[in-house]
Amino acid sequence: MEMGESSTSTARQKKRKLGNAFDGISPQAPSSSLRAMKKGPFDVFINHRGCDTMHKLASTIYHSLDMAGLRAFLDVEELELGDSIPDEIQKAMRTAAVHIAIFSERYAESPWCLAELSYMLETGTPIIPVFYLVDPSDLRWVAQDKGRYAPAFSHHKKKRRYTSKMLREWKSALQKVSYLSGYMLNSDDGDEEKLL
């Protein structure tokens, strides 16, 4: 009897301690993990090449949007264990009010990035391009198998995992987005703070 009472008492004490840990947290400014529990659309979808931008630009944009009260989708922040990655990404792109596409040096090496970009164009949702150490012309030249992204497309073609129709769609998507007004950071000015 005493043993049961003491374990019940310990459980109540733990519950009180955990309850106090959340005192003072404002419900008006939920963190991204709390907002992720809510059902509903994303405000912004961030398309990026992780190895180029994840720990710098993409993450900073995500956290800045979060601080401003916007629900942004950044794969590493929003995907949870057990989620179907393609389904969750597609749902986020479909529901987002705005897409941000961050074009970086190794962007075209990622079939995921290219497929997301094509799908973003299909949705008709506004896209804000960010040219991160690349020029919009780098996206245009790929249609002629030239420029910075041409080697990536040669590699995709050699792998034979993607149809020639799919490769054409990806090139077309890059070309279309290259004509959109966006933000640019080149190696000359290098002012990432100004870009943000």
**Would you state the structure tokens that stand for residue 57, as one six-digit string?**
């630009």
Residue with tokens 């009472």: 5
E strands present in 75-177: 98-103, 127-132
- Set 78, 109, 116, 169: catalytic member: 116
116 is catalytic: yes
Q: Which amino acid is present at 99?
A: H
The phi-psi region of residue 24 (left if phi > 0; otherwise alpha if psi is between -120 and 50; otherwise beta) is left
Number of helices (H) and strands (E), helices first, in the chain? Answer: 11, 5
Q: Can you say how many angstroms the Cα of residue 161 is from the centroid of all Cα atoms in its chain?
A: 24
Which residues have a catalytic role annotated? Answer: 116
